[in-house]
Structures are given as structure tokens and as C-alpha cells.
């Protein structure tokens, strides 16, 4: 008999493991406290993981597969993947053990050590989910240990997968249409309501409470709207392609108090647990573009495909190229604590209050809110990347380390010294005001740089540049900003630095 492990983020119904029923195979799945509590996870995230796993196990059983499922309340559960596996193998029922490539370094390492310590035949197989292998950087950037341009990687995947290509050339003559994707929302544009499912997960919530797992954030366990089954994930994808994709690219970077997801797909949870595969998501989007009447612009599609085929795959390869040292990187040597209001949303800064408030409410914020509001502030305020990582890893429904840490520590905090991003993503109030309606209802004044009601982003921005001059001055993408800073009068510059100092000394009160 063979024992096959299915991890909580390996719910891939199309995996070749499941193409036929084999009575000599038992699949094992487990809900363990160790995984549910290594970061302060959002309660909706824990519920959705366990619900999706339970549905997946039920579907496997329905198809005739044998499944051993250890739930959080199971008395036989040791709450550690490795300890549970040891006990199962000690029964002597199994002559071989097989598992899929884990996406997380910690589990990959633990499982490798585990199989070496066991006197049993074992096999590691692909998760058959991603478009390229973990070590694709060695193909695209041979001999390099930095300077991995996303655009180069993206073009490689486009060619390799023959994606949005025509006779070996990119469709419509350009690889990237990002320049058309940075529009603010027009005031009178009507925004579609996000598609919400109604999953009653109260039974799992009670089991979690009994197990002493609380989680963070808000929840109505009887009405969980995230997709937790393959059918729901497919429905969400299909509705996104019909109703949201035609405007996706244009308003990809826009933020508003009127909507928490704008035209975004909200498929990251379904993708990351593998209920959806990246290739089927891309196919669905392409097919919707080809068949829609009236036709929508190509840049809406390209902007979306780039996120999945480009950024998502890129982040995974970056992770595997630099773990475990990536998790320790702190380029700017930032060591401040995360302000308390990151856990409550109670700050007078409207942009942060909205982005954090909706994160606590829905376990979701879209990319620009994560990058240019919460991430931007944390970087400007010099927060320790360990603290920032813990927050992002906990709060978002889609947060799994390989894609969270590369986006947070890398793209957002530049703690990797520029492996993921070509420059730090920082801005003053001007960018937030340009891309949102946050500033009009804020306690702080977006145009003021100093004084009691000055927007904190303004002075913190210039003080960040000044404090990190030595580390950033040689970066050609920062030259213009340093030129502006150096043209300021000494008086103005000193006033800005003083204002930033005041704000930094009272971060919790902003
Ligand atoms: P859409 O905007 O509709 O995009 C479609 C899909 O593209 C997403 O579902 C996602 O799979 C993919 N995608 C888009 N941008 C990225 C990116 N930068 N990296 C990888 N995939 C991308 N994404 C996660 O899946 N998990 C995380 O833990 C996570 N943490 C982040 C932390 C920070 C600081 C930042 C700046 C970004 C993070 N992202 C993370 C990337 C991105 O913000 C989310 O994938 C996206 O917001 C998910 O919502 P959506 O499905 O509506 O995405
Ligand atoms: Fe945010 Fe400053 Fe605008 Fe207020 S004024 S919403 S703090 S950027």
C-alpha cells in the first residue's frame, strides 16, 4: 500500500495522481494546529483552507479514492504533519510514501529530512500546477544571482507557452501595455459588485474554537463568501472574465472608498490552493477576449495575463533561488515595530484606515493597496521586515509564504536590496491622491508637508530618501528624486526632516 500526502495548498483536481482509482493507494490530508498558528492568520483564511480541504477530500472519496482525513478535532491528530506521518508509517500498513513538491521552503525541508529518516521507499512528484519549474531562473538568467528582470522572464514564458503570440511575435506588436493601465476611476463609473458565495462554515468555526484557534480579523462564519470548492472557483473565474476583465487593465491600479475589490479577480486563494490552475485561468481570459461582443481592448487581457504568467511565476522562481536567506534580508536595516493600528485599522490616515479596515473585514486588499498604501507606509516608517512579513502572511486570504514573502520583503519593502524590484516602491501623498479618492476625506491634508495636519507620507517620503541616500543614490531610477531633494533650500529640508522625526516618534498615534 502506498501513502500519498496532499498538503492544504495542493487541492489540484487535475493532478495525474487522481486520473485513476488505485485501491493500493491511500491519500492523507490533515488540518494541523502547527500550520494554522505559525503566523497570526485571518480567521477567514483558516476557515477557507479547512473547508476547501474537506470538500476536496469528499470529492476524492466520491470518485472512489481512499482518503484518510485528520480534522482539527480528531483525537488521533498530533497537530504536526511530520508527527502524524510518523505514526501512520509506524502502523506498518504502507510500503511506500509519495508527496508532491511543497511550495514552502520550511515544509520542503522538513519532508526531505523526514523521508531520509524513514526506512521506506519514497517519491517526490511535481505538483503539476505552475507553468515553469522552480529553477527556471537558471534557464532565463544563467549564472546570475541578481538583476532578474521580470520583463525578460515574462517574455520567456510568453514564447515558451506560445501565449498571446502571433507567428513568433507578441500580438499587437508589443510585449507590455502597462502604460495604458494606470488610470484613476472616473467619478461616475459604476462599479460591479463582487461575486460573493454563501458558505456556512460555522461547524468548522466551532471546531476551531474548541481547539483554541482564534485567528485575527472579522468573520461571519455562516456566510463565508470566498470560493471553497472547484465549482465555486470556476464560477468566480467565469464571472470575472465576463464582467470584470473588460475593465481590469485600465483600472488595475485604482483605489476607492466605494469598493474593496474594484475590477480585480479575487481568484488568488483558489489559485494558491490549486483549485484553479494558471493555464486554465489564462485560457479562460483569452477565450473571453476572443469571444466577447462588443470586443474589449487587448491591453485589458495582456495586463491580466502578465500577473499570472509573469509576476506569479516570477515570484515563485525568485523564492526558490534565494531561500532560506531571503527570509532574513533587511537591506535598510529597519527595526521599528509595526504601528498598533495595523491590527485595528484605527488611524486618522484615511488611505490606511480603508486598506487595513477592508483587510480585517474581508481578508483582502488589492495589489496597489498592499503595495502603495500599507507597504509604502511601512517602508517609509522603517518598520522591521520581519514584522511586515508576519502581518501580510497572516492577514490575507491568499498569503502563502512563497508568494507573500517575495512580494512583501522583496517588491514592497526592498529588503532584498533590489532582487524583486528595480527601485523601492515609495511615494508621497501625490501618488495616493492621483490613484484614489482617499485624500478628500482624510484628517490630514495631502498638500501639506509640515505642520500639525500635514500628510505623514510627505515628510516620511523625503526623510526616507535622505536616510538611505548612500544605499540608493547610485540607482539610476532614483536620480530624479535625489535631484529634487537636493534642490530644496536647507530650511525646507530641515523642516521636512524635523516633521518626519515627530511622526516617527508617535507612529501609534497617527
Ligand atoms: P488580480 O489583481 O485580479 O490579479 C490576478 C492574479 O494575478 C492574482 O490572483 C494573482 O494570482 C496574480 N498576481 C497579481 N499580482 C501578483 C504578484 N505581484 N505576485 C504574484 N501573483 C500576482 N499575492 C498572493 O497570491 N499571495 C500573497 O500573499 C500576496 N502578498 C502580497 C503582498 C504585497 C505587499 C503585495 C504588494 C502583493 C502581494 N500579492 C500576493 C500579490 C497581489 O497583490 C495579489 O496576488 C492580488 O492582490 C490577489 O488578488 P486578485 O486575485 O484579485 O488579483
Ligand atoms: Fe493618505 Fe495622506 Fe491622502 Fe490622508 S492625505 S489619505 S494620509 S495620502
Q: Which segments of 373-489 does DSSP mark as H helices, in order?
A: 376-380, 385-395, 401-405, 429-435, 456-467, 469-472, 479-487
Q: 187-229 pLDDT, tens per residue?
A: 888 898 899 999 999 999 999 999 999 899 999 999 999 999 9
Nearest residue (by CA) to ligand 2, atom 8, is 429
Q: Which residue has the cell 518626519?
A: 500
Residue 414 in contact with ligand 1 by CB distance below 6 A:
no
Asked if residue 36 has pLDDT above 80, the reply is: no
Q: Give kind and range of the element (H or E) at residue 5.
A: strand 2-5
Q: 449-490 pLDDT, tens per residue?
A: 999 999 999 999 999 999 999 999 999 999 999 999 999 999
Question: Is there a contact between 282 and 265 (Cβ–Cβ < 8 Å)?
Answer: no
Query: Which backbone phi and psi does 149 adopt, to 5 degrees?
Result: -75, 125
Q: 128-178 pLDDT, tens per residue?
A: 999 999 999 999 999 988 889 999 999 999 999 999 999 999 999 999 998
Nearest residue (by CA) to ligand 1, atom 50, is 266
Residue 413 in contact with ligand 1 by CB distance below 6 A:
no
- pLDDT the model gives residue 178: 86
Question: Is there a contact between 210 and 73 (Cβ–Cβ < 8 Å)?
Answer: yes
CA of 400 to the centre of ligand 2 (A): 30
Cα separation of 349 and 433, whole Å?
12
Assign 480 to helix, strand or coil.
helix
Mean of the pLDDT values across residues 431-448?
A: 96
Residue 311 in contact with ligand 1 by CB distance below 6 A:
yes
Q: Does a cis peptide bond (omega within 30 degrees of 0) precede residue 313?
A: no
CA of 102 to the centre of ligand 2 (A): 40
At residue 425's C-alpha, the angle toward residues 366 and 332, to 5°, is 125
CA 241, 247, 253, 254 torsion-angle sign: negative
Say if residue 23 is exposed, middle or buried (CB neighbours under 10 Å; 0-12, 13-18, 19+): exposed
Ligand 1 atom closest to the Cα of residue 268 is 9
Cα separation of 148 and 133, whole Å?
16
Q: Which residues line ligand 2 (CB under 6 A)?
A: 349-351, 429, 432-433, 438-439, 442, 444, 446, 455, 457
- pLDDT the model gives residue 34: 78
Here the contacts of 268-271 (C-beta below 8 Å, separation 24 or greater) are 268/397, 268/398, 269/45, 269/48, 269/226, 269/227, 269/397, 269/398, 270/227, 270/232, 270/233, 270/236, 270/237, 271/308, 271/312, 271/398
Residue 267 in contact with ligand 1 by CB distance below 6 A:
yes
Mean of the pLDDT values across residues 226-236?
A: 98
Ligand 1 atom closest to the Cα of residue 374 is 34
CA of 465 to the centre of ligand 2 (A): 19
List the beta bridge partners of residue 29: 69
Question: Is there a contact between 65 and 26 (Cβ–Cβ < 8 Å)?
Answer: no
Nearest to 140 by CA among 115, 122, 116, 157: 157
Identify which of 371, 403, 409 to mutate to test ligand 1's pocket (most ligand atoms within 8 A of the CB): 403
pTM of the full predicted structure? Answer: 0.96
Nearest residue (by CA) to ligand 2, atom 1, is 351
Cα separation of 457 and 461, whole Å?
6
Q: Does a cis peptide bond (omega within 30 degrees of 0) precede residue 65?
A: no
Nearest to 49 by CA among 206, 242, 272: 272
CA of 268 to the centre of ligand 1 (A): 6
Question: Is there a contact between 354 and 438 (Cβ–Cβ < 8 Å)?
Answer: yes
Nearest residue (by CA) to ligand 1, atom 18, is 311
Ligand 2 atom closest to the Cα of residue 455 is 2
Crossing angle between the packed helical segments 230-239 and 43-62, to the nearest 10 degrees: 110
- pLDDT the model gives residue 302: 96
The tally of CA atoms less than 13 A away on the side-chain side of residue 221 is 17
Identify which ligand lies nearest to the alpha carbon of 257.
2
Residue 499 in contact with ligand 1 by CB distance below 6 A:
no
Cα separation of 407 and 241, whole Å?
25
Asked if residue 37 has pLDDT above 80, the reply is: no
Positions of E strands within 106-259: 121-125, 165-166, 169-170
Identify which of 42, 268, 305 to mutate to test ligand 1's pocket (most ligand atoms within 8 A of the CB): 268
Residue 103 in contact with ligand 1 by CB distance below 6 A:
no
Question: Is there a contact between 305 and 278 (Cβ–Cβ < 8 Å)?
Answer: no
The grid cell for 436 is 484614489
Q: What is the largest CA-CA distance in the chain?
A: 79
Instruction: Identify the DSSP state of 332.
Output: T
185: Cβ contacts below 8 Å, ≥ 6 apart: 191, 251, 254, 256, 262, 437
pLDDT-derived band of residue 294, with 50, 70 and 90 as boundaries? confident
Residue 478 in contact with ligand 1 by CB distance below 6 A:
no
Assign 457 to helix, strand or coil.
helix
Nearest residue (by CA) to ligand 2, atom 3, is 439
Mean of the pLDDT values across residues 376-395?
A: 97
How far, in whole angstroms, is CA 286 from its chain's centroid?
A: 23
Cα separation of 98 and 16, whole Å?
13
Q: Which residue has the cell 526632516?
A: 497
Print the SS3 string covering 22-67.
CCCEEEEEECCHHHHCCCCCEHHHHHHHHHHHHHHHHHHHHCCCEE
CA-atom Rg of the chain in angstroms: 24
Instruction: Identify the DSSP state of 29.
Output: E
Q: What percent of the chain has a predicted confidence (pLDDT) above 70? A: 100
Residue 398 in contact with ligand 1 by CB distance below 6 A:
yes
Amino acid at each position: 500500500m502506498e501513502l500519498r500526502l496532499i498538503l492544504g495548498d495542493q487541492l489540484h483536481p487535475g493532478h495525474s495522481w487522481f486520473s485513476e482509482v488505485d485501491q493500493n493507494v491511500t491519500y492523507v490530508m490533515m488540518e494541523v494546529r502547527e500550520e494554522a498558528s505559525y503566523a497570526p492568520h485571518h480567521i477567514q483564511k483558516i476557515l477557507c483552507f479547512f473547508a476547501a480541504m474537506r470538500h476536496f477530500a469528499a470529492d476524492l472519496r466520491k470518485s472512489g479514492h481512499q482518503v484518510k482525513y485528520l480534522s482539527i478535532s480528531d483525537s488521533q491528530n498530533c497537530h504536526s504533519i511530520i508527527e502524524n506521518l510518523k505514526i501512520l508509517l509506524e502502523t506498518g500498513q504502507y510500503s511506500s510514501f509519495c508527496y508532491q513538491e511543497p511550495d514552502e521552503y520550511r515544509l520542503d525541508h522538513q519532508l526531505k529530512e523526514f523521508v531520509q529518516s524513514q526506512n521506506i521507499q519514497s517519491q517526490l512528484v511535481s505538483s503539476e500546477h505552475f507553468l515553469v519549474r522552480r529553477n527556471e531562473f537558471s534557464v532565463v538568467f544563467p549564472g546570475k544571482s541578481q538583476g532578474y528582470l521580470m520583463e525578460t522572464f515574462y517574455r520567456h514564458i510568453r514564447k515558451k507557452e506560445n501565449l498571446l503570440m502571433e507567428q513568433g511575435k507578441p500580438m499587437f506588436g508589443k510585449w507590455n501595455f502597462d502604460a495604458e493601465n494606470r488610470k484613476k476611476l472616473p467619478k461616475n463609473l459604476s462599479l460591479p459588485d463582487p461575486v460573493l458565495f454563501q458558505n456556512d462554515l460555522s461547524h468548522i468555526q466551532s471546531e476551531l474554537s474548541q481547539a483554541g484557534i482564534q485567528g485575527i480579523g472579522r468573520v461571519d462564519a455562516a456566510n463565508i463568501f470566498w470560493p471553497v470548492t472547484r465549482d465555486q472557483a470556476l464560477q468566480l473565474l467565469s464571472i470575472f472574465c465576463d464582467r470584470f476583465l473588460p475593465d481590469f487593465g485600465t483600472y488595475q491600479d485604482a483605489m476607492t472608498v466605494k469598493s474593496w475589490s474594484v475590477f480585480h479577480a479575487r481568484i488568488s486563494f483558489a489559485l494558491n490552493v490549486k483549485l484553479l490552475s494558471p493555464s486554465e485561468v489564462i485560457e479562460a481570459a483569452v477565450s473571453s477576449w476572443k469571444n466577447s461582443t462588443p470586443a474589449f481592448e487587448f491591453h485589458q487581457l495582456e495586463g491580466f495575463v502578465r500577473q499570472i504568467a509573469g509576476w506569479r511565476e516570477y515570484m515563485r522562481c525568485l523564492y526558490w533561488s534565494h531561500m532560506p536567506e531571503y527570509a532574513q534580508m533587511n537591506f535598510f536595516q529597519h527595526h521599528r515595530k509595526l504601528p498598533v493600528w495595523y491590527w485595528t485599522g484605527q488611524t486618522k490616515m484615511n488611505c490606511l484606515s480603508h486598506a487595513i479596515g477592508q483587510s480585517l473585514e474581508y481578508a483582502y486588499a488589492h495589489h496597489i493597496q498592499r503595495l502603495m498604501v500599507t507597504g509604502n507606509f511601512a517602508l517609509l516608517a522603517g518598520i522591521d521586515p520581519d514584522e511586515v512579513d508576519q502581518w501580510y502572511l497572516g492577514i490575507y486570504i491568499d498569503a502563502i509564504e512563497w508568494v507573500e514573502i517575495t512580494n512583501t520583503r522583496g517588491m514592497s519593502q526592498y529588503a532584498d536590496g533590489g532582487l524583486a524590484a528595480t527601485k523601492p516602491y515609495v511615494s508621497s501623498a501625490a501618488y495616493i491622491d492621483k490613484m484614489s479618492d482617499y485624500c478628500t476625506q482624510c484628517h490630514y491634508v495631502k498638500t501639506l508637508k509640515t505642520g500639525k495636519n500635514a500628510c505623514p507620507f510627505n515628510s516620511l517620503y523625503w526623510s526616507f530618501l535622505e536616510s538611505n541616500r548612500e544605499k540608493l543614490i547610485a540607482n539610476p531610477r532614483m536620480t530624479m528624486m535625489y535631484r529634487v531633494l537636493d534642490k530644496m533650500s536647507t530650511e525646507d529640508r530641515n523642516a521636512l526632516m524635523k516633521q518626519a522625526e515627530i511622526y516617527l516618534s508617535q507612529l501609534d498615534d497617527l
